[in-house]
Structure 1
Amino acid sequence: MRVSGINKLLLLGLSLISVFILTSCRDGSSQSDDFTITVEVDGDRLVYRYDKRQSVGQFLQEIGVTLGEFDEVNPLLQTQVRDGMRITVTRVMQYNDCSATEVLPFTTERQAYQNLQPGETRVIQTGENGEVQVCYRITEKDGIQTERVEISRVPIKAARNEIIAFGSEPMGTLIPTEGVLTYVSSGQAFVIQGNTANLNPLTENGFLDGRVFDLSADGKQLLYTRRTADETDPQFSNELWAVLDTSASFPRQVQLLPEDVRTAQWVAGDRGYMVSYSTANPDGSGWRAYNDLYLMQLDPETGEALPDEFEELISSNSLGSYAYWGRRFVWSPTGTQLAWANADSIGLVDLEKGEFITLMNFREYAPLLELYQGATVWIPTLSWS
């Protein structure tokens, strides 16, 4: 078949148009899918040629950049990447630093002593600074600290306050007293001997918790419990202390071995400085009594427990109703018999066998509050005559 000259020209024109259109399509595709992204991370600046439309987070994951919990990315991870974008990854680290300590300064307390002349002063306890551990939360960005926030203070050593005694004017009206009178006020123990002019403190710091406060039969020794100095201890936690001579001008307090003491008492008789005590387990804001009983004899000079005079009279037990509250023990004036009381019974202790002899049973009395809080029950108070 013969093609005329005009037809040849038409075919050539169509061919050139097809080539032009195909070339234009290919050039347009290359320009829209291939773009440049710069990433700044870990001190490096990296440049990538990329051809996928996805988010910044997906892009970083694909190029192998792992992000930490606190790392910061600009722009945001959900932003779509585009040509010419600069992505900055800031490494953020947070940690706690508890290496710092600070001095916990002591304070000075003044106590009135009527056995000193008015205007006379005397240091009866020197002060000593304590120490506290301070913890900070540190924030670093790319290795540079940007924030330091205090998060806690933990006492390492309690401060010991300085105590200065000063002479006070005697009371205008003197009230005579028989024997020795001791009492607790504002967490401190005081003693009156003979008359109210002879009023003096026996303790300091105001830590007495009132659970144990027992004066010996001759009025010369005082047994008491006080709260622990550690503020992180459970509420019930305490220590057993003694004043070995209440008549001293400046009585000395001695810490005894037992801790977490539920009850304690001087044991009368001819066995010297003998103490009995029962313990408990601190349980939240209360306690769970062990209902045990120990005998401990003290050195009259130092207050130290004599190792050969230590005895477990009653082992730990949960006998009786509301045993968690604690059995009450009371020694006879001669120190030869021991009575006990529980929520539903009273009796004596067989001192040879360490067993309970029940003398009377009765229905326990638990107020309505007991039904809802489980914290209140009545334990009879005992006394010998």
Structure 2
Amino acid sequence: MRLYHLNKILLLASFLVLVGSGCSPVPDSQNQGMIRVEIDVDGTLEVVEVPTGATVGDALEAAGISLEGKDRSEPASGVTIAEEIRVLVFRVEERIETEQQVIPFEVVRQPTENLPYGQEKLLQAGKNGLREIVSVRVIENGEEISISEVSSVDLEEPLNEIILVGMQSSIAPVELPSPLVYLSNGNAWLMEQSTANRSLIVSTGDLDGRIFSLSENGDWLLFTRAEEDEDLINSLWTVNIGSPEDSLIELNTYNIIHYADWVPGIEPRFAFSSVEPRLSAPGWQANNDLELKVFSENGWTSRVNLLQETNYGGVYGWWGTDFQFSPEGDFVAYASPDQVGIIPYEEAEKVPFLEMVPYKTQGDWAWMPGINIGPLGNVIFTVDHSSQEGSPVSEESPVFDLVAIPLTGGGSQTLVEDVGMFAYPLASPVTAKPSGEASYQVAYLQAVFPEQSATSNYRVSVMDRDGSNQRAAFPPPDQPALQPSRRWGAWSPNPNPEKGYYPLAVIYEGNIWILELETGFAWQVTGDGRVQGLDW
């Protein structure tokens, strides 16, 4: 009986245990250490469960989702998941596109005195350029979010349209004893017989004015043109002024800063000194060389002599050396910041005649004395820099004197004291006096403020070859003085047929003036204010 009741009790207890266990709640995934992750990808919503401590990358892998290329997710794939989250997947696409754009040409209106006032003439037709642009477009989930330019190359440069605009004024024409060429707006012009008779001989618009020289017989013009190539400064060219449209010749000579000119008596032969371009100021390193070449009208050039090889050039030699051939071509005068001398054509060795204190400019330029050989070939006119009495630094002395260096013997002779550093003397052609003596004048620039001659304006002055009869000539005292430049003027090689005077052409405020120094008359012959160089 007791056994029966014991069995019933055990049976009831087992039943209650089973019932109790069946009524207990089923644990969820988080309680089991799993986290729910929703993934928004490609327009659908994927759901996965990952264990605690898993990363977003693990969740993506569990869902069979891969990130390729620049695809990304938010949060990033390396972020650890600590609770239920939604992951956004961004499909990223980069598209490289190439397009071509037109570069519109500019219209340049160029004043000229060769047309009546207000009249216009097309000098050069404009042409559009072409630019190729490569861009990257970034697309995320089908939407463009950015575009960036990665490269731009000009396949073809635009060509500016040049329109001449007449500015012919009431300036009276002046008779000319010799052809006069001048540089204006990057173009070369010719005046012949009269200042009213003008013609355009080089219309490229890129003449830089470094070199602008007419040959001895007046047939050829030597000049430099600016170069677009970053590795070049300029190039040397020539043109026959009698037929400029058919004879523009490149001379295969580059980077000319200080000197290039015709060799007297030997045409078509020219001499030049070159530099090497540099990124640092002043933009070059001088070679201080002197080379001679010949050319033919078909563009062929050949070196015939090397008077000076590339060399250090002495103090401030990085700036360069200036040269000038004698009238007979038998020697070359040279000038550097500390020395003036000659180089005999046959020996090709420097013979110094004047040693001077180099001027300390406190800048990225060097001072060089202008040199000019007298028409008889027996004297050099130049500027001497000497120390100032009582000055502790001789290199900074403001004392500059115009001197004559006789090549037949004897030391230099001071002609004009305190003339200023930019005197640039110019000897006239020879005039025969009734006595039979060969005479000539020397024009030069006189500083208004000699003690500040580096920044002073100057006036044209003239004297006899021995320094006598010094007088200011131009401009008048009541007019502003002119800014000095190395090629400030030029004497006509021929005299006025009626008066026998040699006219002097000068550049004043961007215009050409013809001076008759014997009478004091001066005539303005251009009016556009754009002249940069001239030669007879």
TM-score between both structures, scaled by the size of structure 2 = 0.55
List gaps (5 residues or longer) in structure 2.
375-536
The answer for the alignment partner of 2:372 in structure 1 is 383
Q: 1:265 aligns with which of 260, 278, 290?
A: 260
Partners of 1:130 and 1:156 within 8 A in 2 = no
* Partner SS, residue 269 of structure 1: coil
Stretch deviating more after TM superposition (154-163 or 265-274): 154-163
**1:254-285 superposed Cα distances (whole Å, 9 cap, x missing partner):** 32211222244333334221111222222126
Q: Does 1:73 align with 2:73?
A: yes
Amino acid of the structure 2 residue aligned with 1:287? W
Query: Once the 2 structures are TM-superposed, how far is the Cα of residue 294 of structure 1 from its aligned partner?
Result: 2.1
The answer for the alignment partner of 1:294 in structure 2 is 291
The answer for the alignment partner of 1:372 in structure 2 is none
Partners of 1:104 and 1:158 within 8 A in 2 = no
The answer for the alignment partner of 1:90 in structure 2 is 91
Distance 2:233 2:59 in 1: 59
Query: Once the 2 structures are TM-superposed, how far is the Cα of residue 326 of structure 1 from its aligned partner?
Result: 1.2
**1:293-348 superposed Cα distances (whole Å, 9 cap, x missing partner):** 2211111x33x1344x5444322222311121111121122222112111111222
The correspondence of residues 32-71 of structure 1 with structure 2, limited to 5 A, is: 33-38=34-39, 40=41, 48-53=48-53, 56=56, 71=71
Distance 1:340 1:143 in 2: 74
Change over 3 Å in CA distance of 1:288–1:25 after alignment to 2 = farther
Partners of 1:94 and 1:140 within 8 A in 2 = yes
**1:333-373 superposed Cα distances (whole Å, 9 cap, x missing partner):** 2222112111111222244454333222211102233xxxx
Residues matched between the structures, number? 366
Partners of 1:267 and 1:335 within 8 A in 2 = no
Query: Once the 2 structures are TM-superposed, how far is the Cα of residue 59 of structure 1 from its aligned partner?
Result: 5.9
Percent identity, aligned pairs only, is: 22
Amino acid of the structure 2 residue aligned with 1:261? I
Change over 3 Å in CA distance of 1:73–1:278 after alignment to 2 = farther
List gaps (5 residues or longer) in structure 1.
370-374
Query: Once the 2 structures are TM-superposed, how far is the Cα of residue 378 of structure 1 from its aligned partner?
Result: 0.1
Distance 1:90 1:228 in 2: 50
Change over 3 Å in CA distance of 1:78–1:34 after alignment to 2 = closer
Q: 2:139 aligns with which of 138, 141, 144?
A: 141
Change over 3 Å in CA distance of 1:160–1:85 after alignment to 2 = closer
Q: 1:343 aligns with which of 310, 328, 337?
A: 337
Distance 1:320 1:332 in 2: 23
Query: Once the 2 structures are TM-superposed, how far is the Cα of residue 207 of structure 1 from its aligned partner?
Result: 1.5
The answer for the alignment partner of 2:198 in structure 1 is 199
The answer for the alignment partner of 1:228 in structure 2 is 227
Amino acid of the structure 1 residue aligned with 2:251? L
Stretch deviating more after TM superposition (59-68 or 83-92): 59-68
* Partner SS, residue 293 of structure 2: strand
**1:200-245 superposed Cα distances (whole Å, 9 cap, x missing partner):** 3332243222211222223322111121245xx26x7212122222
Distance 2:354 2:58 in 1: 81
Distance 1:101 1:276 in 2: 45
Query: Once the 2 structures are TM-superposed, how far is the Cα of residue 197 of structure 1 from its aligned partner?
Result: 0.5
Partners of 2:264 and 2:326 within 8 A in 1 = no
Partners of 2:294 and 2:304 within 8 A in 1 = yes
Partners of 1:340 and 1:347 within 8 A in 2 = yes
The answer for the alignment partner of 2:492 in structure 1 is none
Q: Does 1:313 align with 2:307?
A: yes
Change over 3 Å in CA distance of 1:312–1:37 after alignment to 2 = farther
Partners of 2:138 and 2:147 within 8 A in 1 = no
Change over 3 Å in CA distance of 1:210–1:58 after alignment to 2 = farther
Partners of 1:266 and 1:276 within 8 A in 2 = yes
Distance 1:355 1:291 in 2: 13
The answer for the alignment partner of 1:177 in structure 2 is 176
Distance 1:39 1:342 in 2: 79
The correspondence of residues 26-37 of structure 1 with structure 2, limited to 5 A, is: 27=28, 29-30=30-31, 33-37=34-38
* Partner SS, residue 41 of structure 2: strand
Amino acid of the structure 2 residue aligned with 1:88? V
Change over 3 Å in CA distance of 1:242–1:249 after alignment to 2 = closer
Amino acid of the structure 2 residue aligned with 1:278? S
The answer for the alignment partner of 2:357 in structure 1 is 363
Change over 3 Å in CA distance of 1:128–1:378 after alignment to 2 = same
The correspondence of residues 274-293 of structure 1 with structure 2, limited to 5 A, is: 274-284=269-279, 286-293=283-290
**1:83-131 superposed Cα distances (whole Å, 9 cap, x missing partner):** 4624313224375x567464765868788685x9999999876x58464
Stretch deviating more after TM superposition (155-164 or 329-338): 155-164
TM-score between both structures, scaled by the size of structure 1 = 0.73
Change over 3 Å in CA distance of 1:166–1:243 after alignment to 2 = farther
Change over 3 Å in CA distance of 1:167–1:368 after alignment to 2 = closer
Change over 3 Å in CA distance of 1:249–1:361 after alignment to 2 = closer
Q: Where is the helix percentage greater, Structure 1 or Structure 2?
A: 1
Q: 1:239 aligns with which of 226, 235, 242?
A: 235
Partners of 2:90 and 2:140 within 8 A in 1 = no
Change over 3 Å in CA distance of 1:268–1:84 after alignment to 2 = closer
Distance 1:60 1:356 in 2: 84
**1:147-203 superposed Cα distances (whole Å, 9 cap, x missing partner):** 555565433344456778899978551122331222222222222222211123332
Distance 1:224 1:210 in 2: 7
Partners of 1:171 and 1:197 within 8 A in 2 = no
The answer for the alignment partner of 1:187 in structure 2 is 186
